[in-house]
Structure 1
Amino acid sequence: MLDIAAIFLTLTAVLAYLNRRFIGFPATIGVMIIALALSLVTIGLDALGFGVLRDFEESLLHRVDFSDLLMEGMLSLLLFAGALHVDLSELRAYRWQIGLLAIIGTMASTLVVGLLLWLGLSYTPLAMPLTYCLLFGALISPTDPIAVMGILKSAGAPKNVELVIAGESLFNDGVGVVLFSLLLSVVHSGKVPGFAEGALLLLEEAGGGIVLGLVIGYATYRMLKSIDSYQEEVLITLAAVIGGYALASTLHVSGPLAMVVIGLIIGNHGRALAMSEQTRRHVDMFWELIDEILNAVLFVLIGLEIIVITSAHGLLTAGLIAIGVTLLARVLTVGLPIRLLRFMFRLPAGAWKVLTWGGLRGGISVALALSLPAGPQRDIIVALTYMVVVFSILVQGLTIGKVVRSSIECASPPH
């Protein structure tokens, strides 16, 4: 495993250098573009009879369980790092808006994407059962906090717009994972649970994750408050994240939501009341480095994964349908409510365009798709997910700054 880690870290460092030195894109987008280009060159060389590089890349990727690496390893660290710098007092001011988008919006989007994809694919050779289309809806509907927060930093959006879209992305992936698990159990058992059973599962997973996050967050806060030594305090935060995520998996509650809650507690009460200035500086620096390094590695992996995507007749058409359906669902479940209820959401005019176009998908969607059991439906879903994610990061990510500048009429919410 050490040699695999060494190869990917070295490759990521080289690609990050090339992006910074010659291209100048945001770090996550830049390394992904270069990795994607390398994979396409490798595929091209293979078509010309030089298959050594493709064989090496495929063997390397097959030794990495992308789904397990992200969902059981990197995700906890990235979510905590993302939540650590969210101002809880500002988040509280938009709690209802974020809650509606993260819970109701994600559930509605899952349904819209599933139904429209089912209808759209029925006109292609890659038609899928409705349950699998809904599975795709569940894994593609949550916006990826890793992608969103990394790219929004350079987009120049007003603070309240950035806060709402970042808050939504931090919480809706937990809801999406629960919906995905529920629909996956339907696929396995063939039995559709009743409303009460589904609601109970959602409450246990999501509610349990929030409660666990509160408990671990408070315990961590008390430990940090009782000492003043940045070495031990950084170690305590790291242990809270890794140990807390492992405990959440054991208890079958939402680890992502637990990490977000812990991050909010430590990033607000912990930083303000339990840390000295020296400790705050070291904690911030440590988690900022973790965030940047893991983000870069993650997007390099996404760029390389194209080489293991199965090709099939009609896949390009199906991918375009999936991209269109995903964008339409985002408009209907996020953009339209914000546009019609602008004064309730208290966001600037034009913010609905930013939240629609800024709903980026990333590694979480790919990881969930790769976790599906082997079969022809899985291959189609993985390919469609990958196409939507690449479009989201490359096209939406590179143009979100222009959308912000052309859409936002004022930087303060209407009164």
Structure 2
Amino acid sequence: MYNFDQLLILFSALLFLVVLFSFINEKTLKLPYEIGLVVFGFIFVAIYIVGRNLNIIYIPAEFSELYREFDFTDFLFKGILCFMLFSGASRIKFGDFKADKFMIGSMAVVGTLVSTVVYGLLFFGLGYLIHVNISLLEACILGAIVAPTDPISAMSILAKAGLPKRIGLIIEGEALFNDGVAVAIFATLLSALKLSSDSVSVLSFLGGLTSEILGAVTVGFAISFLLFEVFKRSNDNFIKIFTSILTVMLAYLVCEYLGFSGPIAAVICGLYYASGIARHDEKNSACISEELLNLFYSFWSVVDNLLNGMLFLLVGVLFLNIKNINTLSVGMMIIIGIGSVVFNTIARMSGVWVSLLFNKNPPEGKGMKNPRFITFMTWAGLKGGLCLALIMGTSNSLATPTYNLSLVATYAIVLFTTVVQGLTVGKGYIMLSKKSSDYNAGQRQKNVKIAGNTAK
């Protein structure tokens, strides 16, 4: 059990690195916040590993012992994750997504499901080829982990890419909604894995799983309903913010005590607040002022950015302590890393393509279903903090070799999508839209020629 001083030391160290790397990035490379943290965090880990092997970097024994004893899984999965999920869900502005609600919904639900299954099948096949003992269920759990796109990356990185507002809203809306879908799939598959070795019937498993999810939804809805009454009746904006914090904390604690899914409850709370704020804002209710909206969205945006920053750093720190690292050769890590990036691209493209089949009226008409749009949406699917939090939450559920492989795969995907795709998505849109314009111009010229020939 940690005392306050120990927790303060760890939190201060994390915050120090976030501030240090962000400041260095701001003054040197000037990369977007998330990309800068990933790049400098990766450099920091690489320098530390080399320095430790050459015995030129020394870490005090007290700090090393504190690090080894710290339970990152509980800190991330049971602490940070619920606030991240609430933050993303509560800041959804439903009015912005009305025009493309069916597309956003299908990409968030159908696309996430398809991506999970496709990635799971591909990763399972890779495991079979390289003689790694990983089950299809474990591969699909990894598929659910890397399926959701990151709303923070979507809103900050893509905003600087010069995309049209409507395209940006589709990407942002999908990223905000698919978090809850991915967590539900992840929780379902992880529960199945935990019970697979027990002598339980399919009926009892489904019953337990249903009660876990429905219980989380009920708890999240009930607590949100009660505390949102305080939220809308209070005249003090700070009390409103404190109430939103209490809502997600209380819902998560009740679910932990009753054995329900805390992350799902956090998503329900966030969605309840988002819908409640939107409903009262449309009515110009006195309880929802412009000042409150700015304060609410700014506060939870800061929380989300801080927690994501810590997660990007923590995944590097966790990499220093992969369990039984000798079980993974350098060649194996390279194969897993490259394969994961390729599989993620295929799975993402499959999810986008299938989800578009359910939309009769895409934003720009039938042309949006062409390969160029699917290619762009695939490249714009950036991964981030939620993927890292979910994989860290499996350290006690997956066998050590499987966990190590999954951690390498997740880290490779987050690193590639954030850095490579994040830096090139704007140029990719310009290139693809230019090709589309050239194609449309060619089609118009062709139609004119055909019309002229017909007239003759």
TM over 0.5: yes
Q: Distance in 1 between matches of 2:385 and 2:20?
A: 21
The equivalent of 1:291 in structure 2 is 304
Q: Distance in 1 between matches of 2:315 and 2:288?
A: 37
| Matched position secondary structure for 1:23 | coil
Structure 2 residue ranges without an equivalent (≥5): 1-6, 437-456
Aligned pairs for 1:211-226 within 5 A: 212-226=219-233
The equivalent of 1:12 in structure 2 is 18
- Say which is worse superposed, 113-122 or 237-246, in terms of deviation: 237-246
Counterpart amino acid of 1:102?
Answer: A
Q: Distance in 1 between matches of 2:99 and 2:214?
A: 21
1:161 to 153, 157, 167: 167
2:142 to 136, 159, 164: 136
The equivalent of 1:245 in structure 2 is 252
Query: Over alpha carbons, which structure has the higher Rg?
Result: 2
Q: Distance in 2 between matches of 1:69 and 1:408?
A: 43
CA RMSD of aligned residues (A): 3.3
Aligned pairs for 1:36-185 within 5 A: 36-53=42-59, 61-185=67-191
| Matched position secondary structure for 1:122 | helix
Give, in angstroms, the shift of residue 208 of structure 1. Answer: 5.2
| Shift in CA distance, 167/206, structure 1 to aligned 2, threshold 3 Å | farther
Verify: 1:358 aligned to 2:380, yes or no: yes
Question: Can you list the C-alpha shifts for 1:154-174, whole angstroms capped at 9, x where unaligned?
Answer: 333333333333232223233
Q: Is the 8 A contact 2:106 2:358 kept in 1?
A: no
The equivalent of 1:333 in structure 2 is 351
2:430 to 394, 397, 405: 405
1:2 to 8, 11, 21: 8
Verify: 1:258 aligned to 2:283, yes or no: no
| Shift in CA distance, 56/72, structure 1 to aligned 2, threshold 3 Å | same
The equivalent of 2:451 in structure 1 is none
Question: Can you list the C-alpha shifts for 1:281-319, whole angstroms capped at 9, x where unaligned?
Answer: 433433333233333222222343332343613221122
Q: Distance in 2 between matches of 1:212 and 1:289?
A: 26
The equivalent of 2:321 in structure 1 is 308
Q: Is the 8 A contact 1:113 1:329 kept in 2?
A: yes
Q: How many residues align?
A: 410
The equivalent of 2:393 in structure 1 is 371
Q: Is the 8 A contact 2:221 2:269 kept in 1?
A: no
| Matched position secondary structure for 1:400 | helix
1:322 to 340, 346, 349: 340
| Shift in CA distance, 59/108, structure 1 to aligned 2, threshold 3 Å | farther
Q: Is the 8 A contact 2:277 2:288 kept in 1?
A: no
2:419 to 387, 394, 402: 394
Structure 1 residue ranges without an equivalent (≥5): 411-415
With the length of structure 1 as denominator, give the TM-score of the two structures: 0.85
Q: Is the 8 A contact 1:209 1:257 kept in 2?
A: no
Question: Can you list the C-alpha shifts for 1:342-369, whole angstroms capped at 9, x where unaligned?
Answer: 6433357344333211222223223322
| Shift in CA distance, 211/402, structure 1 to aligned 2, threshold 3 Å | farther
Q: Distance in 1 between matches of 2:342 and 2:87?
A: 32
Q: Distance in 2 between matches of 1:15 and 1:155?
A: 23
| Matched position secondary structure for 2:95 | helix
Counterpart amino acid of 1:100?
Answer: S
Q: Distance in 1 between matches of 2:65 and 2:430?
A: 44
- Say which is worse superposed, 355-364 or 365-374, in terms of deviation: 365-374
- Say which is worse superposed, 308-317 or 144-153, in terms of deviation: 144-153
Give, in angstroms, the shift of residue 88 of structure 1. Answer: 1.1
Q: Is the 8 A contact 1:84 1:266 kept in 2?
A: no
